[in-house]
Structures are given as C-alpha cells and as structure tokens.
Amino acid sequence: MTNKLLTLRNKMKSEKPEFERQDSNKYPQFEGQWRRPRGIHSKLRKNLKGHKARPEIGYSSPSQVKGLSRNGLMPVIVNNIKELNRLDARHEIIISGAIGLKNRLSLLNKIKEKNLNVLNIKNVDEFLNKAKEEFERKIKERKSNKDKRTKVKEEKEKKKSDDKKESLDKKQDNVTEVNKSESKK
C-alpha cells in the first residue's frame, strides 16, 4: 500500500510546477519565491487561463506518506544516544548539527552497530576515519601548544630571576661605592 502511495507521491512531485511570484518574469529577484497575489486586478489571483499555477490542495501528497523520505522511512533528528536507542529500522537518522565531534563519533559507531541509515552523512565509514584522524591531530596540536607555552613561561621566569640578580648586584655595587666615597671623606 505505502509503496504504491510513495510512487504516486514521487510522480506527483515530479509533475508539480515551480510556484513563482507574480511578475517573476519581469523582476529577477522574485524568481524562486512565492507570495500570494493580492491586487484587485491581478490575473493570477483570479485564476485566469494562461497564467502561472498557484499552490492548491490538489498538489499535496497522500496523507499516509506525508513526511516520509523517498525510501518510505521516517526521518528523525537525533541529538544523543538515548534518542537513538528508541529508533528502529523504520526510521532514517539525521544527526543534529549542534553535536560536537566526540559525541558525533560515538553516535555514528552506535548507528553502524544498529545498521541504520544516516541522511546527512554520505559514507559513515569514511567520515569516521577522517574524524578520528582530525581528532588525533587536534590532540597532538594541543599538546605541542601546551609544551610551547610551558617553555615560554620557563624562559620568562628565568629572565625575571636573572633581571632580579642583576638589579641586586647593581644595588650592592652602588652601596659599596657610596661606602667607599664616605670613608674617603
């Protein structure tokens, strides 16, 4: 039943016209948009013959297959593993864009175990490999940056201590010179 409805919907969608705003042929910025015609003399509002099509209820897909993907599965946005555990083979998964790389990797591994379909990632295995490499690269980069920071910090501290020693030496030299000059008088 749903297979027939899906093929019917796909056929209807292929025949559905692009609904464009009135005067879209005159103004290029109107292309690809739809606004309801409201003018009192508007031929499009009056549905006169020879004018563009308007969105109507007849163009809608059958209610039993509304919201389903082309494969006939229900797309669901997933944010965490808890939401993923509730899903089964009747669903296709869209991984939320707000998820970080670490959680995305764990989600994809779980999806791979369950053998589910992901809509917003073409090749899960390839993505996992690239992401793991990127993750490892970032960790190495952080470690090297941390090492650089500690080296710079140590150098600053060493320089400070050297400057303090020098200033103390100068003060002592000044004090000894003053003492010598006083003793001469």
Alpha-carbon distance 118 to 80, whole Å?
A: 14
Angstrom distance (rounded) from CA 178 to CA 185: 11
Looking only at the bridges linking them, the beta strands covering 91-95 and 74-78 are: parallel
Residues of the domain holding 114: 68-121
Tell me how far CA of residue 3 lies from CA of 58, 89, 166, in angstroms.
20, 16, 88
Amino acid at 95: I
Rounded CA separation 180/173 (Å): 11
Count of domains in the chain? 1
For the segment 122-134, the average pLDDT, to the nearest whole number, is 90
pTM of the model: 0.60
Residue 128 lies in a domain: no
Residue 145 counted as domain residue = no
43 belongs to a structural domain: no
What pLDDT does residue 101 have?
A: 87
Mean of per-residue pLDDT scores for the chain: 88
Indicate whether 176 pLDDT > 80: no
Residue 92 lies in a domain: yes
Handedness of CA 98, 102, 108, 114 (dihedral sign): negative
